[in-house]
Structure 1
């Protein structure tokens, strides 16, 4: 597994040399843009609109636009120095908290943590101590020139670091338009909705869920590549146009209700013939 960051993490006076490995991967099918006439890939050139010339990479500088049309230019040397000063620091676990106190909206990206040379025992100690306490660690780390807030937790006997958003990066739920302030539902509607949830409740099994669009896209690409006849998948049942809430809930319950097996008919006892 590719190592994308090396450093150390500490809690109290315990220091653990670690490596980070990306825990997830993007499996989206990437499509290219071609010229419709000749099927040549489209080139995206960097052109200065004032000088009307194509710009080379070495001619580009980075800047912050503090107001429209006004920029503060940042030199590469300044950014590299700032980056190195932060990346060289050991990652320190600031606090330990309960996992359920962190809403999932804060989570961003996951990384597996493995111990670097000499860090095996301390790694095991942190893993076992967090498992015993039921707590997760909160730490800061600089990844790709950005300081990240992160949660360190145990997943399948491996320490995982999950970057999380800072509070000011999460938009306020109160700003979402048209959210009803009160629940104007009847007791019967609520009870029926809870019954529907109960019928659809199952144990979470990640292997059960697949990316149907990606699978269909791969099949389409392969069929076109090999010249095979395209097969149209069976159409899903049309969505019912039920506007009455109770009728929709009841229809959903009837649809998801487990089918009962037909009861086996009992055979009548055979009478013994009298001698």
Structure 2
């Protein structure tokens, strides 16, 4: 499993060297966009709308737009220095709470935590302490240049870290449009709804749920492959030139630039003058 972050996490005076591994993966089927005429993949280029030319990586700087059309440019050196200063800090568990107190809307990404060299015993200690107390740890960590608030809990004998949103990143429900006010619901309507819920209530088994659209899309792709309903992009032919003409042009250029005395002269064979007949 790929290691995406190395560091340490601490609670109190206990320091645990750890590695982070992505706990989930995106299994969306990625579709390419092709030119309808020749089925070649479309390229997306970075173009400056003012200079009307393609911009390379070395010509790009990062900036913050503090008002429409006005920016503060942030040099890469300063951003890297700021990132390094924060990433070097150990991740510290700042609080312990009950996970039931955290609404699911706050949860973002999940990462497995494994002990790095010398961290096995401390890792086992934190795991056991969390299991026994029934609590989860709240910590801060820098991932991909962003400070994250995270929950550390136990999942099947493994420490799991789940990043969570800060409160100001969660939009307020009062901003949601067209929410109906309290409506008068009859007892019969409510009883019927509760009955339906009871009938559909079951234990959560994640293995029973599948991405039916992804399965159908893959079946469609496979059926087209087996039926040879595929297309091939037209490769752009490399630029070629007429070798004969090119060599002739080169030779002509060489001949033209030779000094006058070294050029080959056509020799004209003169007819021999007949000797006068002796009388």
The aligned residue for residue 155 of structure 2 is: 155
Secondary structure of the residue aligned to 2:2 is coil
The aligned residue for residue 193 of structure 2 is: 193
The aligned residue for residue 143 of structure 2 is: 143
The aligned residue for residue 29 of structure 1 is: 29
Alignment partners' CA distance in 2, 1:101 and 1:14: 26
The aligned residue for residue 80 of structure 1 is: 80
1:186-205 deviations in Å (ceiling 9; x for gaps): 11111111111111011110
2:20 paired with 1:20: yes
2:119 paired with 1:119: yes
- 1:212-223 aligned within 5 A: 212-223=212-223
1:9-46 deviations in Å (ceiling 9; x for gaps): 00011000000000000000000010000000001111
Alignment partners' CA distance in 2, 1:62 and 1:175: 31
Alignment partners' CA distance in 2, 1:209 and 1:56: 45
TM-score by length of 2: 0.81
- Count the aligned residue pairs: 229
Alignment partners' CA distance in 2, 1:96 and 1:19: 21
Q: CA deviation at 1:99?
A: 0.4
Using the TM superposition, name which of 207-216 and 43-52 deviates more. Answer: 43-52
Alignment partners' CA distance in 2, 1:120 and 1:13: 16
- 1:27-106 aligned within 5 A: 27-106=27-106
Alignment partners' CA distance in 1, 2:177 and 2:64: 31
- 1:236-275 aligned within 5 A: none
Alignment partners' CA distance in 1, 2:221 and 2:25: 21
Alignment partners' CA distance in 1, 2:21 and 2:122: 19
Q: CA deviation at 1:180?
A: 2.2
Using the TM superposition, name which of 171-180 and 66-75 deviates more. Answer: 171-180
The aligned residue for residue 205 of structure 2 is: 205
Could you say if the C-alpha distance between residues 122 and 183 of structure 1 is closer, same or farther in structure 2, counting changes exceeding 3 Å? farther
1:119-140 deviations in Å (ceiling 9; x for gaps): 1111111111111111000000
Secondary structure of the residue aligned to 2:7 is strand
Aligned-CA RMSD value: 1.1
2:180 paired with 1:180: yes
TM-score by length of 1: 0.82
Q: CA deviation at 1:53?
A: 1.1
Alignment partners' CA distance in 2, 1:2 and 1:174: 41
